[in-house]
Amino acid sequence: MSTLGGVGDRSELTGLLADPGAYLDHPDPTIRRLAVAGAPPELLPTVARLAVDDPDPGVRREAVEALGTAPLELARPALAHARRDPDPGVVEATATAYGELGDPEAVAWLAEIAAEHPDRLVREAAVAALGAVGDPAGLPVLLRLVATGPPQVRRRCVVALTVFDGPEVDAAIHAAAEDRNPMVREVAEQLLGRR
């Protein structure tokens, strides 16, 4: 049997491309992940189930990412469960999905993990999601983190702040243009040049 990137033979790959739904319960997690990635919108309820109970974190992560395009009513229960996933990649995908959905009900959770999560990539995703949602309730944590967070988080905060207005936002972006980290300074200087 020849393999294509970990996927079984050519007929299995052809079947996966033609009918991803038939492979959502496949025993191989790589194939399930590919099936989730190719699943059409009508399979989103099944994808939401996989986001909650698939044993493989890669499949859960892929499913959570797919929920970023789902209706809020369908996505919210699965994303609420995914917030507590032990895999940081799933939590990162959850933050990103909330940002794509623009869900204002997630702002308090996003602010909490932006400030406190031990994984840097999760914090960055939460900051980006706060900017994508654009809810004023997320502004205080962004203003705090743009000055006190790790460099990658500060850089993300600068970009996230661009969706907000006000003198405190302008002051924070100007201060970021003087940041001790060159990546943060560069982003702030670019933004100030466009404003």
Q: Which CATH number fits domain 108-195: 1.10.630.10, 1.25.10.10, 3.40.1390.40, 1.10.10.1200?
A: 1.25.10.10
- 72 residue type, one letter: L
User: For residue 119, how far is the Cα from the chain centroid?
Assistant: 13
Give the pLDDT mean for 157-166. Answer: 97
Q: List pLDDT tens digits, range 102-133.
A: 999 999 999 999 999 999 999 999 999 999 99
Q: List pLDDT tens digits, range 67-77.
A: 999 999 999 99
Residue 16: pLDDT band (50, 70, 90) is confident
Judge whether residue 15 has pLDDT over 70: yes
**pLDDT score for 149:** 96
Enumerate the domain spans of the chain.
1-101, 108-195
Q: Report the C-alpha gap between 132 and 134 in whole angstroms.
A: 5
pTM above 0.85, yes or no: yes
Q: Report the C-alpha gap between 27 and 15 in whole angstroms.
A: 15
Q: Report the C-alpha gap between 24 and 66 in whole angstroms.
A: 13
Whether 108-195 and 1-101 are alike in CATH topology: the answer is yes
Q: Report the C-alpha gap between 11 and 2 in whole angstroms.
A: 10
Give the pLDDT mean for 14-18. Answer: 81
Residues 6+ apart with CB under 8 A from 1: 8, 9
Fold of 1-101: Leucine-rich Repeat Variant (1.25.10)
Q: List pLDDT tens digits, range 130-140.
A: 999 999 999 99
Residue 18: pLDDT band (50, 70, 90) is confident
**pLDDT score for 2:** 34
* Long-range contacts at 111-116 (CB < 8 A, ≥ 24 apart): 111/137, 111/138, 111/140, 111/141, 114/141, 114/142, 114/145, 114/153, 115/141, 115/144, 115/145
Q: List pLDDT tens digits, range 138-156.
A: 999 999 999 999 999 999 9
Q: List pLDDT tens digits, range 47-62.
A: 999 999 999 999 999 9
Give the pLDDT mean for 15-36. Answer: 91
